């Protein structure tokens, strides 16, 4: 199953599994300077950011490639939901026809296939922005125990591209989430969206992981990039 369909499949129960993304969205909104009137949200999902905007805006454009997520996004006369892929140049050709005062993205750009290209597009808008991106240190011990490498960008490569292209400020935030047992933990991983719903392990490997995982919690690392 392609990743956008997987995000759609879990969209309705997503809220129960997105505790960390909720914290990330809170922190990201806290980084917004002033009260921007025209906002773009890349990878908007069910609207965690739109729901947190407590000032009046003229327009809020949310982009996501999971139709079911967009269906669950808040709707209003000033909100436009665009079904699009932030890896795709044609999306930006369309977005460049808009005027934005701020670009936001929470817990989504870790899935940028070419993060350098996405940063260049963000830079091209010449507007302030705040981005929160999960790094490869997310599920660090789990990946180490399973002997697999993270599908996410390392914080070093994110920072390198951010320094070269965006020249922005940044900080790193680490979170942990505790579980009663590894079964619950694996269920969370499958449903949370942090892994992009990609199954990297087969049945046997999963069983071995459940036996050998040394922690009672999962680790997350998020890089905040902002003007």
Ligand X SMILES: C[S@@+](CC[C@H](N)C(=O)[O-])C[C@H]1O[C@@H](n2cnc3c(N)ncnc32)[C@H](O)[C@@H]1O
Among candidates 63, 61, 80, 68, which has minimal Cα distance to 7? 68
Q: Does 64 bind ligand X (CB under 6 A)?
A: yes
In angstroms, give the least distance from the CB of 208 to ligand X: 27
Q: Does 20 bind ligand X (CB under 6 A)?
A: no
In angstroms, give the least distance from the CB of 44 to ligand X: 5
Q: Does 107 bind ligand X (CB under 6 A)?
A: yes
Binding mask 178-197 for ligand X (x = CB under 6 A): ---------------x----
Closest to ligand X by CB, 84 vs 128, is 84
Closest to ligand X by CB, 115 vs 162, is 115
Q: Does 85 bind ligand X (CB under 6 A)?
A: yes
Closest to ligand X by CB, 4 vs 209, is 4
In angstroms, give the least distance from the CB of 227 to ligand X: 19
Q: Does 222 bind ligand X (CB under 6 A)?
A: no
Closest to ligand X by CB, 111 vs 125, is 111
């Amino acid at each position: 199953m392609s990743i956008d369909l997987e995000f759609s499949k879990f969209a309705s129960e997503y809220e129960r599994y997105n505790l960390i993304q909720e914290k990330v969205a809170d922190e990201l909104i806290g980084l917004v300077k002033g009260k921007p009137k025209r906002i773009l949200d890349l990878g908007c999902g069910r609207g965690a950011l739109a729901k947190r905007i407590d000032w009046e805006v003229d327009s809020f454009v949310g982009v996501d490639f999971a139709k079911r997520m967009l269906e669950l996004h808040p709707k209003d006369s000033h909100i436009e939901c665009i079904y699009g892929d932030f890896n795709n140049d044609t999306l930006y050709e369309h977005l460049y026809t808009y005027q934005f005062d701020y670009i936001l993205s929470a817990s989504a750009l870790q899935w940028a296939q070419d993060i350098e290209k996405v940063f260049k597009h963000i830079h091209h808008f010449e507007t302030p922005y705040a981005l929160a991106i999960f790094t490869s240190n997310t599920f660090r011990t789990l990946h180490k125990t399973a002997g697999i490498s993270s599908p996410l960008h390392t914080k070093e490569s994110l920072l390198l591209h951010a320094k070269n292209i965006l020249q922005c400020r940044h900080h790193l935030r680490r979170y942990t989430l505790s579980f009663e047992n590894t079964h619950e933990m694996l269920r969370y991983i499958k449903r949370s969206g942090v892994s992009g719903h990609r199954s990297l392990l087969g049945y046997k490997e999963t069983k071995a992981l459940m036996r050998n995982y040394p922690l009672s919690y999962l680790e997350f690392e998020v890089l905040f990039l902002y003007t």
